[in-house]
């Protein structure tokens, strides 16, 4: 790859896709550090709860139809950092236990292209209980080529015709990141929009993210009558574009469609797809569409063509659910490619309740507003939004300082609600590759509320996990917590540790003098 090197490619075969694969394989779970690759919008507890509700509804429907004996496999494509899978599993188990109804058993399969990610999930502390219970397994899966799932934890293989229950597929930020064809519609004819890839400097020594930043794309149209042939498997969708669009560039998801078709063959009963992406399901969104530009975030992404996926499977009898309104940040869809999909009443109602009425896109819009206006929010508003987001750690991290500033005016009931929220947040916390000392923030806030026993528990977690970077304030707060609970010797030990960091710390010297 030399500077100003220019070569023509079919869009789906351009080197950008190889660079994309290389990026994820090299970075592993570090790809999501500093939100380099966005993950919050598709992995937060709110969207996970919506998916868990739809999956639970689907399991209810299967049980009501008399299909309760065989397990249901839930396969997440491109599970990335693993946070979505954890939150979905946790909430699904909570709903199952709360409802206490008879359901088919289930197993969640996390998949990704990068084997480094699979290894990281297998070792993640938050996932161990689910692995031990047999609820969670893993597989390296190449969505473009692979025809089976080789499960790592159980050592089994899932392939064509192996499942009697429908497959549940979860695909967030997936279809926008795998190869797509690029066609151009003009004068009722289909053209291939070939791409010229130009490198602005020698790329041999650059990392994938750096290389993508130095690539420019230029397009040229070439007649492609093959898309119009009767033998082309997606000709019906192409005909819609030929008949209703003009001067439009269409990202056509052949790789995504063939991936779904291969996975469909795993089960003799079809699949349920839950998917969220920057993706347009309305034909109007593709009218007069310009050539695509790469959206860079370490790797890159494009717009997913939900319209094509929706059209292809509706022609095959599927029921597709997408919001009637235009999405702003993320479009959440549900495709029931099943025998008699209208019979899945509980799953459809869950979509209506958790996505169509108020869903992940609306929540994220509100969160963007709340992030900007946090300093003007009162304590009840902060706590209400925290509850709405499923006691998410990210909201707590950003709002802890504001909550602290409002504590002098807080009543006992509000303080107890803060404690309860911290405990629920901690029970659902999924640590990422780039760690954040959440226990410290929680412990300091509890200390300010004079909840010394609870503060001590969190501050000791912080000390254990951050042994090389313990701040002096932590030892001081721990000493006070111990003295308040009359654990004098332990308190003196923490005071001495504080003096090792700051020999002239006046409060610590006074504590030692007073008790010794």
Say which residue, 200 or 498, is predicted with more confidence: 498
pLDDT digit string (tens) for 157-194?
Answer: 999 999 999 999 999 999 999 999 999 999 999 999 99
Rg over alpha carbons for the chain, rounded to the nearest Å, is: 26
Is the torsion defined by CA of 410, 411, 413, 415 positive or negative?
A: positive
- The residue that leads in pLDDT, 96 or 473, is 96
Q: Render pLDDT for 93-142 as a digit per residue (tens, 0 to 9).
A: 999 999 999 999 999 999 999 999 999 999 999 999 999 999 999 999 99
Average pLDDT over residues 18-45: 81
- Contacts with 448 (C-beta within 8 Å, 6 or more apart), sequence order: 404, 407
Kindly report, residue by residue over 291-339, the tens digit of the pLDDT: 998 888 778 889 999 999 999 999 999 999 999 989 999 999 999 999 9
Residues with Cβ within 8 Å of 232's Cβ and at least 6 positions away in sequence, in order, are 226, 238
Q: How large is the average pLDDT for residues 350-356?
A: 97
Which residue pairs, CB below 8 angstroms and at least 24 apart, start in 239-245?
Answer: 240/283, 240/311, 241/183, 241/185, 241/190, 241/286, 242/185, 242/188, 242/189, 242/190, 243/188, 244/283, 245/185, 245/283, 245/286, 245/287, 245/288
Tell whether the torsion through CA atoms of 394, 399, 404 and 409 is positive or negative: negative
How many whole angstroms separate alpha carbon 453 and alpha carbon 449? Answer: 11
């Amino acid at each position: 790859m030399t500077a100003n090197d220019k070569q023509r490619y079919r869009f789906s075969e351009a080197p950008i896709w190889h660079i994309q694969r290389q990026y994820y394989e090299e970075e592993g779970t570090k790809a999501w550090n500093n939100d380099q690759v966005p993950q919050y919008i598709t992995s937060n507890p709110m969207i996970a709860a919506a998916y868990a509700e739809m999956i639970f509804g689907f399991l209810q429907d299967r049980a009501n139809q008399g299909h309760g004996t065989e397990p249901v496999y839930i396969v997440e494509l491109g599970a990335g950092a693993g946070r979505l899978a954890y939150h979905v599993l946790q909430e699904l188990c909570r709903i199952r236990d709360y409802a206490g109804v008879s359901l088919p058993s289930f197993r969640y399969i996390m998949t990704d292209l990068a084997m480094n990610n699979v290894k990281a999930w297998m070792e993640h502390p938050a996932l161990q209980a689910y692995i031990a219970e047999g609820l969670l397994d893993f597989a390296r899966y190449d969505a473009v080529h692979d025809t089976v799932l080789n499960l790592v934890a159980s050592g089994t293989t899932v392939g064509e015709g192996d499942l009697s229950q429908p497959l549940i597929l979860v695909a967030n930020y997936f279809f926008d990141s795998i190869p797509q064809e690029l066609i151009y519609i003009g004068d009722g004819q289909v053209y291939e929009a070939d791409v010229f890839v130009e490198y602005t400097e020698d790329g041999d020594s650059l990392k994938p993210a750096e290389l993508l930043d130095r690539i420019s794309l230029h397009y040229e149209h070439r007649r492609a009558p093959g898309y119009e042939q009767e033998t082309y498997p997606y000709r019906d969708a192409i005909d819609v574009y030929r008949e209703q669009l003009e001067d439009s560039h269409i990202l056509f998801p052949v790789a995504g469609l063939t991936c779904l078709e291969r996975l469909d063959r795993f089960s003799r009963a079809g699949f349920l797809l839950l998917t969220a992406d920057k993706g347009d399901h309305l034909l109007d969104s593709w009218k007069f569409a310009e050539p695509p530009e790469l959206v860079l975030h370490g790797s890159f992404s494009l717009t997913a063509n939900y319209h094509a996926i929706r059209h292809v499977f509706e022609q095959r009898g599927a029921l597709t659910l997408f919001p009637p309104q235009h999405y702003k940040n993320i479009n959440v869809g549900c495709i029931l490619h099943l025998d008699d999909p209208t019979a899945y009443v509980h799953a459809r109602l869950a979509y209506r309740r958790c996505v169509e009425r108020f869903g992940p896109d609306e929540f994220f819009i509100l969160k963007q507003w709340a992030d900007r206006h946090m300093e003007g929010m009162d304590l009840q508003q902060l706590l209400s939004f925290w509850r709405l987001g499923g006691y998410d750690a990210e909201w707590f991290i950003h709002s802890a300082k504001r909550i602290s500033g409002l504590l002098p005016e807080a009543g006992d009931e509000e303080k107890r609600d803060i404690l309860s929220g911290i405990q629920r947040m901690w029970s659902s916390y999924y640590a990422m590759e780039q760690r954040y000392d959440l226990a410290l923030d929680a412990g300091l806030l509890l200390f300010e509320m004079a909840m010394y026993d609870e503060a001590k528990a969190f501050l000791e977690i912080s000390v254990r996990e951050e042994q090389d970077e313990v701040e002096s304030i932590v030892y001081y707060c721990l000493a006070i917590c111990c003295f308040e609970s009359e654990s004098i010797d332990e308190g003196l030990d923490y005071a001495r540790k504080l003096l090792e960091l700051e020999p002239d710390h006046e409060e610590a010297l006074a504590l030692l003098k007073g008790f010794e």
